[in-house]
């Protein structure tokens, strides 16, 4: 009986910690301004992908972040294309030369 009570307490304190953990998860409030002058804040988890726009809870208008930050996705570096990588390694005249050589080889076959 005493053993069971102890175990119960153990479980209880564990789940309490978990709850607190959720409660303590870092959050951030992001302010938005709607075009109709409404300002509101939405709470996000720090791990959440932050949107650049949010629907105004009062009028439904698309609202932009008060801090002027655009959606996080757009902050990422633009993806380099194969062409970008190619032009980093070779100049255009070099590429033209290579292409010519290649084409000649292909035509020979
Ligand atoms: Zn509004």
pLDDT, tens digit, 9 for 90 and up, residues 83-107 = 888 888 889 999 999 999 999 999 9
Nearest to 63 by CA among 91, 35, 43: 35
Q: How far is the centre of ligand 1, averaged over its atoms, from the C-alpha of 69 (Å)?
A: 19
Whole-angstrom Cα distance, residue 15 to residue 11? 6
| Residue 82 among known ligand-binding residues | no
18-63 per-position pLDDT tens digit: 555 555 668 889 999 999 999 999 998 888 888 889 999 999 999 9
- State the total domains in the chain: 2
Q: How far is the centre of ligand 1, averaged over its atoms, from the C-alpha of 68 (Å)?
A: 17
| Residue 34 among known ligand-binding residues | yes
- Here the tokens at position 35 are 């075009």
Q: What pLDDT band is residue 16 in, cutting at 50, 70 and 90?
A: low
Query: What does the pLDDT read at residue 86?
Result: 85
Q: Are 39 and 56 in contact (CB under 8 A)?
A: no
Q: Is 44 a member of any domain?
A: yes
Q: How far is the centre of ligand 1, averaged over its atoms, from the C-alpha of 39 (Å)?
A: 7
Average pLDDT over residues 69-91: 76
Same domain, 66 and 84: no
Q: How far is the centre of ligand 1, averaged over its atoms, from the C-alpha of 49 (Å)?
A: 22
Q: Is 6 a member of any domain?
A: no
pTM check: above 0.75: no
Same domain, 39 and 63: yes
Q: Establish how many alpha carbons lie within 13 A of residue 24's alpha carbon, considering only the half-sphere containing its beta carbon.
A: 6
């Amino acid at each position: 009986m005493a053993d069971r009570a102890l175990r119960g307490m153990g479980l209880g304190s564990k789940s309490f910690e978990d709850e607190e953990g959720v409660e303590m998860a870092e959050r951030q409030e992001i302010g938005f301004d709607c075009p109709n002058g409404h300002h509101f804040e939405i709470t996000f988890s720090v791990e959440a992908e932050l949107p650049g726009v949010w629907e105004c809870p009062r009028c439904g208008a698309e609202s932009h972040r008060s801090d002027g930050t655009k959606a996080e996705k757009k902050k990422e570096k633009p993806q380099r294309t194969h062409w970008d990588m190619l032009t980093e390694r070779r100049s255009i005249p070099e590429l033209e030369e290579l292409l010519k050589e290649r084409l000649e080889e292909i035509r020979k076959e």
